[in-house]
Amino acid sequence: MGGLLREVVDEIKLTASTHPVVLGNCPFLEIAADRDKISSVISNLVSNAVKYSDKGKTVTVSCSFSPVSVTVSVKDEGMGIAPEDTDKIFDRYYRVKTEHTQHIAGFGIGLYLSAQIVQLHGGRIWVESETGKGSTFYFSLPI
């Protein structure tokens, strides 16, 4: 998993030069998953973290593991998500509507597709967030 995270972070850094993207210590761990699909999930989460954070704010990607699963997290210092939106954020076409998001392009499909990919791999995806303080998106996959 660490190698895939490094590849995605390095790729994002090429286009997201306005934000430091930091990769925490992620050990090599082999899982049975579709590499391209999981890469797409990671890329979507990191891209969203950049998109919904002010310039210069850090995005941190990290992972942890247990005997049965690996968990990837993407933390930003962005606008955060209100509690009433966190339950719907993975719904198809759902977009948070605030003054800050009205000028940000998107169709509300990326998180939905990411959730579908993770769930089809037997994993789960969730978010922890506080308005004005940022968000951390997580997904876990079985080892």
Helix then strand then coil, in percent of the chain rounded to 5, is 35, 25, 45
Q: What domains lie within the chain, and their CATH numbers?
A: 2-142 (3.30.565.10)
Reported as half-sphere exposure (CB side, CA atoms, 13 A), residue 79 has a value of 17
- Average confidence (pLDDT) over 13-40: 89
- Average confidence (pLDDT) over 59-75: 94
Select from 32, 41, 65, 48 the least CA-distant residue to 108. Answer: 48
**Which pLDDT tens digit goes with each residue over 119-141?**
999 999 999 999 889 999 999 99
Counting beta carbons within 10 angstroms of the beta carbon of residue 103, is it exposed (0 to 12), middle (13 to 18) or buried (19 or more)?
exposed
Sign of the CA dihedral 52, 142, 120, 9?
A: positive
pLDDT at 103: 56
